[in-house]
Each structure stands twice: as structure tokens, then as C-alpha cells.
Structure 1
Amino acid sequence: MLHSIIKATLASTLAVGFAATAANAETRVTYKSAKAGSSYYQMGVEVAEAIKKGTDGNIIMTIEESQGSVQNVMEVRARGGDYVFTAPPALVDAAQAGTGAFEGKGNPKFSEIRALFPIPSLTMHFVMSKASGAQDFAGMAGKTILLGKGSFGATEGEKYLKLFGLEGKVKIADAELSNAGDALKNGQIDGFVTAGSWPAPNVVEAAASVDVNILSMTPEQVAETKRAGLTIPAGTYAGQDRDILTTSLPVVAYATTAMDDETAYQLTKTFWEQKTTMSGSAPWWKGVDKSLMANIIGKLHPGAVRYYKEAGFELSERQM
């Protein structure tokens, strides 16, 4: 009899112990985005905090520094189901097709990449001082413009100057983009071009210290660039009393089919449920809404699809 009681008690204790262990189990994932100190690295920190808070600590996300989106995609070859990374959808498409930066570097694992959710897009800003008189792209002729060097914004800005007939008609300032605000204020330049999630901190700073015009494109100009169109709402920057039509490079958080469906579901669900709170402390999350889902040109993770169907998102056949 005593032996039976002890056996039953031991079994009960073990059951409680196993239940407690299961309840306290953590899922750990790695989030790889951008260089430390960049806005996209900071976004990763904010996503990690939101995921931890929204899952009561059941999913812990570790932020890992990256040298860029190509590296993020390439690392899929050696990573497992705990890997989340960010990249433009077009880059993932190129990896899966073995083109562009991935020509001759194809890998079967690239076909396993699946999208989770969009994050703030890299948004083009053409910022001109009001003193320059430039209110549209034609008005940039004869002005001194700072493009910066080596960045997406610099490359894209140079491309747009050519597209819009301004090649050779503007003077390109030889300076770092980090000096744009001071250079604009001091009259050393008439404007600068930058790409970042909106509201972009360097544009906020410039608009707060000098009167600026942030140039808006026409729908025809947006179509010419072959980039995704994006509207920056009126009031985003000081003195901006109208919507600004510009272009953007969409950026998305991805995993692979190696990630289990439940983890992908919880990550996606928690991201969208926490987005309003995130927007309160970091305004760039206000730029993420359902409309950005259209920029995901590849397949979504089945776990993410489950959430989107529950939440009433409209998905394309290609995304599923």
C-alpha cells in the first residue's frame, strides 16, 4: 500500500515538473537585418522587444549584425529553422532565380525562403531648401545637390536625375550625407537626396532647422523609376502641408520552411498585434500597413498564411 502511494506521488510530481518545464519552454530565434547603429538594426531591436512582450517571453529573438541583404540571403544555406532575416523581395526573387548578385551562386535552400511580414520601406526623399525655389524636379536644374556616396539612396538618386532629364544640369556636392542638415542650413547646398524609412531622422532634423520643400513625383515619374510608389502623409515633416508621392524599396522579414508553422504564426501574429504600440515609440512603424503586403512577390510561410487568413488579409495566389 505504502509502495503504491509513493509510486503515485512520484508520478504526480514528475507530471507537474514536466508541465512546468513545457510551460516555461522558450523558442529562440535569430533576427539578422543590418549594420549596428543603422535604423534597420534599431528596428530589429524594436521587433525583438515587441515579440518578447507579445508572447510573454515564450519567443526570444536575438539580434545579429549584418553587412547587408545579400549576406542575409546567402546565410540561408547554412541556417536552420530559427533564422529570421530581412531583405527586399526583389533580392529574394533574384536568389531563387539565380540572377543578379546570385548568378552562379544558386542553392536549393533559396527555394525554401518564405515571407513573414513587411517592415518599413527604404523611401526616397528629395529635400530642397525653400530658399532654392525648387518645388519640383525641373526646379533642381542649376542647383547644388548632395547625394552621398555608396548608399542605395545615392545610387537611386543618381538614376532619377538621369531619368528626369537633370544629368549634367545639377552640381553634385562632394560631401558626406551625415553633413546634409548643416550644409543645407549654411547654404552650402540647395538640397540633398536620402533613402530611409519615413519619417527619416535626417529629414526630420533638416526640416526642423531650415524651411524645406520635399519634392513630390508625378505618377508618370514613379512609373518611370520602376519602383514601388509610396505616399508620405502630409504633416510627417515640419512645414509639409501636403502628401508626397515618392518611391520606395520594400523590405520584408523572412524565414524558411525549416521554421515550424506555429513559430511562424506566432511571430507574424505578434508583430501585427504589437505594431500600434511600436508606432507610438518609433514613428517609422506607422508606415507599415496592409497595403505593403502587395509588395511581397513570393510565397508566405504557411504559419504566416494561417494568421493572415484569420485576420482577414487579402492574399494573392502567388503568396500562398
Structure 2
Amino acid sequence: MKRFSITVTAALIGAIFLGAAAFAATTFITIGSGGVGGTYYPLGGAMAEVLSQADIGVKATSRSTSASRENCRLVAKNTVQIGMSMGSTLYQAAFGVGAFEQDGKLPLNILMNMYPAPQHLVTTSKTGIKSLEDIKGKRVSVGAPGGGDQVLTMLILKEAGIDPDKDISKQQLTQPEGVMALKDGNVDAVFWNFAAPGASVLEVAAQRDVVLVPLPQDVVDKVVANNPFLVPHKITKDTYPGMTEDVLTVADGNYLVVRNDMDEKLAYDLVKTLVENREKFLQITPQAENFVPEKASIGIIDFHPGAVKYFEEQGISMKK
């Protein structure tokens, strides 16, 4: 019996050590996504599932946040390990300017470029708003606090000479809140940033006559000239119900961001897995068509060394 007990005890101890080793080998990743109604939220969930199912020793979950600005800060604190961010927000976070002046430069690198996303200025036919100038004196949501859409909105309003604290009745709504407010008539217009077509616009369009307001050419020119991470963009007339012509706006890049001290092999495995599972993400958003090395390797700040290694293996020359 003694010999049997020793054998069982040894087996149990061995099992415990093996279990502990397996547990230790698993890297837990949290992805900071965005609010319900945008592209970030479902895409973050899909990425977490793909990473968890890949044989790279990662267990990933997705966390709903107020998006870009919050995500940059969460990644910098290592509260989340991957964050989704608009380029305008990421640029400010990396250089410690604008909305991040009090934070200082955050230790961020790009993991991959996801897709371009146009800024939407959305209203309904009953408001009478047809131009950017028409929002003066109106109830306008500039985007959620902590969100990148608000950062971009402020850049646009600045170049248009519109003071958000004096010229409009400024609201700061999340995307779901903005949808409800537009449908109920509690707000006159909202600024949103997401890949087109956006679910939030389509939800409003199901009950109201949606109007997309174009940005003036001179405002677009000024915004792009002063913010090299932005590009002119047209939302084509076949994008949303009721559109009769293309709508001029600006587009921002959308990136996956990590801390610059993330383990190099981990970063390599993450970007490799995400890019090489592009077909799965196409089920979530057509914007995943941009998940190819040639496009995913275009950035505005430094890429993580692990990402650089992967893209260079794909024949991409990465600028140092």
C-alpha cells in the first residue's frame, strides 16, 4: 500500500507540475475594441476567437471600450495588450500632443494597419442641415469622450472655424446613444468615424431619412495639409439608402496598437495569425480585404519589431 500511495502521490505531483507548465505557457491577451454599433466591436470579438483558436499559446478576449483614445491609454498601462485606434488619435498619443498633451508620449507601436475609415457627419431630413455651416446653433454630438472620432471631429471643426463650445450645443454621445438620439430627435447631427457602410447609420436609416453632410473642399484641404495621417475620401452614393451623390469627407487609418516592449515573438505570432486569417474577418466586415501585407504594413509611427519581422518575411521593405 505504501508503494501504491507513493506512486499515486508522485503522479498527482507530476500532473500538477504539467498543468502549471501548460498554464504558464498560455499568454492572456485582452483586445480593446469599441462601442456596439461600430466596426471595432464585432471585429475585436472575431480577432479574440481567431487568436485563441490558433496554436500560438494565446488566450484572447475582447473588451468593449470608448475606442481609440481610451485604447491607447489602456495599452500604455498594459491593461489591454492590443488596442484598436484611429490614426489621428494614435499620432497624438505617440507624440504626446493634442488630446495626449497631459499624458506625454505613450510607449506605443503599430502591430498592423487595419483599414481606412471615413468621418461621417450624419443628420436626418427634418433638421434642414445640408452643409457643415448649418450645424451652428444645433445639437451636435462630437463623439464619445475618449473616442478617436471626437479627436477627428475637433480637427475638422478647428479648420472650419467652428467653436464646439460656443457655436453648437455640444453633445458627447457613444455610437449607440447617438443612434437613439437621432431616431428620437434629441440631437440634430452626429459625427461618427467607422468603415462604410456603418451599422449605426443603417440602423437610423431603417426608421428615418438619413442625410450625410459633405465637408467643404477647402476644409478637407486644410485638414489633410495639417494632419498627414488623414486623406481625402468620398463616401460613394451607393453606400447608404437615400444617397443621390458622393459625399466628400476625410478618412482616417485604423490600426492595431501594442506596447513597444511586447515580446517580439508574441507580436510576430499575433500579426501573422491575424493577416493569414483574413477570410474569417471578411465575414465580419468587408474592410478586412485590407488585411494583406502590402496594406497592413503601411503606418504613421514605428511598427513593433515583431511585426516588422513578419512583413519583411513577406517581401515588404519596412522603413526604419
When the two structures are superposed, what TM-score results if normalisation uses the length of structure 1?
A: 0.66
Are 2:235 and 1:236 aligned? no
Distance 1:292 1:204, change over 3 A: farther
Secondary structure at 1:221 match in 2: helix
Larger radius of gyration: 1
Query: Which residue number corresponds to residue 6 of structure 1?
Result: none
Query: Which residue number corresponds to residue 301 of structure 1?
Result: 304
Query: Which residue number corresponds to residue 6 of structure 2?
Result: none
Query: Which residue number corresponds to residue 15 of structure 1?
Result: none
Q: What's the CA shift for 1:297?
A: 1.6
Q: Unaligned stretches of 5+ in structure 1?
A: 1-17
Tell me which amino acid in the other structure corresponds to 2:261.
A
Q: What's the CA shift for 1:286?
A: 5.6
Q: Unaligned stretches of 5+ in structure 2?
A: 1-17
Distance 1:249 1:273, change over 3 A: same
Secondary structure at 1:250 match in 2: strand
Are 2:183 and 1:182 aligned? yes
1:208-227 residue pairs with structure 2 within 5 A? 208-225=206-223, 226-227=226-227
Are 2:269 and 1:271 aligned? no
Secondary structure at 1:239 match in 2: coil
Q: CA RMSD in A?
A: 4.5
Are 2:284 and 1:281 aligned? yes
Query: Which residue number corresponds to residue 141 of structure 2?
Result: 147
Secondary structure at 1:281 match in 2: coil
Query: Which residue number corresponds to residue 48 of structure 1?
Result: 48
Distance 1:213 1:155 in 2: 22
Distance 1:106 1:135 in 2: 39
Query: Which residue number corresponds to residue 118 of structure 1?
Result: 113
1:1-320 residue pairs with structure 2 within 5 A? 27-34=26-33, 37=36, 39=38, 40-53=40-53, 55-56=54-55, 58-64=57-63, 66=65, 69=68, 72-74=71-73, 79=78, 83-89=81-87, 91-100=89-98, 103=101, 106=104, 110-111=106-107, 113-119=108-114, 123-130=118-125, 135-137=130-132, 140=134, 144=138, 146-147=140-141, 150-151=144-145, 152=147, 153=149, 157=153, 160=156, 163-164=159-160, 172=169, 177-183=178-184, 191-225=189-223, 226-227=226-227, 228-229=230-231, 230-240=233-243, 242-283=245-286, 285=288, 294=298, 296-313=299-316, 315=318, 317=319, 320=320
Number of residue pairs matched? 288
When the two structures are superposed, what TM-score results if normalisation uses the length of structure 2?
A: 0.66
Distance 2:120 2:279 in 1: 25
Secondary structure at 1:216 match in 2: coil
Q: Is the CA contact (8 Å cut-off) linking 2:120 and 2:192 kept in structure 1?
A: yes
Distance 1:158 1:95 in 2: 15
